[in-house]
């Protein structure tokens, strides 16, 4: 009887120990390592043919792959194409593809997918990637893993083409007439992450591709969490509810930089914030026609104290803007002293006066010779409080030049509707740009009215130069043409480039390790690469187990040992 009791006690101890082991170790491996990234702008579409947003570009880079991508030094590197060659007259590119790539649904990736994607974009001039295909006249596939791209003339940006390759077996059944509306609700790519779920107004969830040909990411689940404002997002990263925050307000930077376990940075990125005019002179335009006068657009720019706005609203996080391509880019054009339109209210009044805009009735607003006032609707995004503050300062200083700007605040969706229906005068928004200038230059071409263009600008000389610059293989010679294009834009002013604003980002370094800024003063996100998404991993995966977990096990083991000794001692005495 005593022996049975001893056995029962021993078995009970073993069972308890077993349960503790499960709690101590099992829970750490059962739960996926989920990274939550806070964003304030929702992806506009899951279709690469429709989306124009910064978050869209970032997500497509994770779901899909291009033939060539860039490494953490922002240099071209093999991706779906393992290598490539160029013929002697520089008009035929041969890409040799990897043969170990599968789509997320298990179908093999082949050259047919590349041909299909390029033909689809070439035939329809769709999306933010189409500009990279300019000059291509034919794409063929002599076998399953070779693609030949023929061009009219040398093509300078072939290796900077970030166009995601789409699966033919999915997209072939979509009617070409529906390309601009097909939602692509369950994206299938070859990328490092697979699509899981999009809950409108809340989050977008991706999961790691275990079979990714460049190596499985260190992140199991990647969740982009949508926030209505940056204040709530900043608070969430402090509380550990999210692991990263992107594009938060400058007013929150100091506070985040003092938080233990959080690295908050002001990253220099390729992008800008602009004031865009409706430059469309088409009869269907609903803009005030006085905005077609370059003198009026110049006067508005002269009335804007960009530096004060940058200092007051953005806490100095960036630099004053001038031309279309940011100064960190090789193709940036800086206007000469004679061309430059720095803040100068007196000059703004002078050029308006000389152009015949006079305040005829003493109400402080100038009119043209027909009595039409210089009064415009200034549309601002309601959720972006910094842009609203900047807009209020711009409206205040424009009034000193006799220009009345009536501010209206709307949500992003309504502003997009206004832009593409031509129903606006002016607004503030921004663009992120690439290393190669093709996409941002393409935004201002006539062909993009109704597509990427948000100013409805048209200039025949500019359009000609856009085509020409893509054929110049010598970067220095190409730069001269791109400079001329920016010179035209600066003179005609369909955009006022307000700032090259920094991207404010924060990451949790206590929980995640392996973060890298790209380039050296750049950001963790929106840096044209997926380096951090692939290489960052949980601290627990690289560090030894926390002392607390082992301590619990040691205590249990000690209890068991004491119990066993006690039992054996009892057995001895019984004899």
Instruction: Return the SS3 of 273.
Output: strand
Residues 52 and 452 sit within 8 Å (Cβ to Cβ) = yes
Q: What share of the chain is helix, strand, coil (3-state, %, to 5)?
A: 35, 20, 40
- For residue range 245-278, what is the model confidence (pLDDT) as tens digits? 999 999 999 999 999 999 999 999 999 999 999 9
Residues 466 and 445 sit within 8 Å (Cβ to Cβ) = yes
Q: Rounded to the nearest 10 degrees, what angle do helices 294-302 and 475-492 cross at?
A: 90
Residue 547: half-sphere exposure toward Cβ, Cα within 13 Å: 0
For residue 496, the cross-strand partners are 275
Q: Which helix (H) or strand (E) holds 555?
A: helix 547-574
- What is residue 127's predicted lDDT score, i.e. its pLDDT? 76
Which residues in the chain land under pLDDT 50? 1-30, 543-575
- For residue range 411-424, what is the model confidence (pLDDT) as tens digits? 988 999 999 899 99
Residues 167 and 103 sit within 8 Å (Cβ to Cβ) = yes
**361 contacts: CB under 8 Å, gap ≥ 6:** 367
Tokens read off for 38 = 């806070």
Instruction: Return the SS3 of 541.
Output: helix
* CA dist., res. 335 & res. 314, Å (int): 24
Short-list 39, 43, 61, 62, CA closest to 52: 43
- What is residue 1's predicted lDDT score, i.e. its pLDDT? 44
Residue 251: half-sphere exposure toward Cβ, Cα within 13 Å: 11
Tokens read off for 316 = 């100095």
Residue 513: half-sphere exposure toward Cβ, Cα within 13 Å: 7
Short-list 233, 240, 230, CA closest to 262: 240
Helices (H) and strands (E) in the chain, counts: 18, 21
Model pTM greater than 0.85?
no
- What is residue 561's predicted lDDT score, i.e. its pLDDT? 42
Q: Is the peptide bond before 519 cis (omega within 30 degrees of 0)?
A: yes
* CA dist., res. 162 & res. 502, Å (int): 23
* CA dist., res. 18 & res. 9, Å (int): 14
Tokens read off for 146 = 């070779």
Short-list 419, 412, 406, CA closest to 381: 412
**525 contacts: CB under 8 Å, gap ≥ 6:** 37, 58, 244, 246, 503, 505, 532
Q: How many CB atoms lie within 10 A of CB 8?
A: 10
- What is residue 486's predicted lDDT score, i.e. its pLDDT? 99
**432 contacts: CB under 8 Å, gap ≥ 6:** 54, 57, 269, 270, 271, 526
* CA dist., res. 420 & res. 373, Å (int): 25
- What is residue 406's predicted lDDT score, i.e. its pLDDT? 98
Short-list 405, 403, 407, 397, CA closest to 368: 403
* CA dist., res. 243 & res. 238, Å (int): 9
Question: Tokens 């899909």 label which residue?
Answer: 64
Alpha carbon 56 to its chain's center: 6
- What is residue 542's predicted lDDT score, i.e. its pLDDT? 55
Alpha carbon 184 to its chain's center: 19
């Amino acid at each position: 009887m005593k022996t049975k009791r001893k056995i029962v006690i021993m078995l009970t101890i073993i069972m308890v120990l077993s349960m503790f082991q499960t709690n101590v170790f099992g829970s750490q491996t059962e739960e996926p390592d989920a990274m939550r990234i806070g964003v304030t702008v929702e992806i506009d579409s899951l279709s690469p043919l429709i989306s124009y947003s910064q978050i869209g570009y970032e997500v497509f880079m994770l779901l899909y792959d291009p033939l060539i991508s860039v490494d953490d030094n922002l240099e071209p590197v093999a991706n779906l194409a393992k290598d490539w060659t160029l013929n002697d007259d520089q008009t035929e590119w041969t890409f040799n593809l990897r043969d170990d790539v599968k789509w997320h649904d298990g179908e093999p990736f082949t050259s047919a997918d590349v041909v299909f994607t390029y033909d689809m974009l070439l035939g329809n001039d769709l999306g933010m990637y189409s500009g990279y295909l300019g000059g291509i006249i034919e794409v063929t596939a002599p076998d399953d893993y070779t693609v030949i791209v023929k061009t009219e003339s040398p093509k300078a940006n072939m290796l900077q083409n970030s166009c995601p390759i789409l699966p033919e077996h999915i997209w072939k059944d979509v009617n070409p007439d529906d390309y601009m509306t097909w939602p692509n609700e369950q994206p299938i790519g070859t990328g490092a992450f697979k699509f899981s779920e999009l809950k409108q107004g809340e989050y977008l969830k991706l999961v790691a591709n275990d079979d990714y040909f460049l190596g499985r990411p260190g992140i199991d689940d990647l969740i982009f969490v949508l926030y209505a404002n940056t204040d709530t997002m900043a608070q969430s990263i402090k509380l550990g509810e999210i692991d990263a925050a992107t594009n938060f307000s400058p007013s929150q930077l100091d506070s985040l930089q003092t938080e233990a376990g959080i690295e908050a940075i002001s990253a220099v990125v390729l992008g800008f914030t602009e004031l865009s005019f409706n430059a469309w002179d088409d009869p269907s335009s609903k803009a005030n026609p006085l905005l077609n006068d370059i003198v009026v657009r110049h006067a508005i720019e002269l009335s804007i104290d960009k530096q004060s706005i940058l200092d007051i609203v953005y806490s100095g996080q960036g630099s004053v803007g001038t031309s279309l391509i940011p100064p960190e880019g090789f193709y940036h054009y800086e206007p000469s002293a004679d061309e430059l339109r720095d803040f100068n209210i007196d000059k703004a009044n002078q050029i308006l006066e000389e152009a015949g805009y006079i305040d005829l009735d003493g109400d402080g607003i100038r009119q043209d010779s027909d009595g039409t006032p210089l009064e415009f609707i200034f549309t601002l995004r309601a959720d972006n409080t910094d842009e609203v503050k900047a807009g209020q300062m711009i409206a205040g200083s424009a009034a000193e030049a006799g220009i009345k700007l009536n501010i209206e605040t709307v949500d992003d969706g309504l502003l997009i509707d206004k832009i593409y229906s031509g129903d606006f005068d002016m607004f503030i928004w921004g663009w992120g740009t690439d290393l190669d200038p093709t996409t941002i230059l393409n935004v201002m071409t006539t062909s993009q009215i109704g597509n990427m263009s948000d100013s409805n600008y048209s200039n025949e000389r500019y359009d000609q130069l856009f085509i020409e610059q893509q054929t110049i293989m010598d970067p220095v010679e190409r730069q001269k043409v791109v400079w001329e294009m920016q010179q035209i834009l600066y003179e005609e002013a369909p955009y006022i480039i307000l700032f090259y604003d920094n991207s404010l980002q924060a990451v949790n370094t206590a929980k995640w390790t392996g973060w890298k800024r790209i380039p050296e003063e750049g950001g963790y996100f929106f840096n044209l690469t997926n380096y951090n998404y692939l290489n960052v991993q949980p601290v627990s995966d690289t560090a030894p187990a926390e002392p607390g977990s082992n301590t619990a096990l040691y205590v249990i083991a000690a209890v068991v040992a004491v119990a066993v000794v006690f039992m054996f001692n009892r057995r001895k005495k019984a004899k």
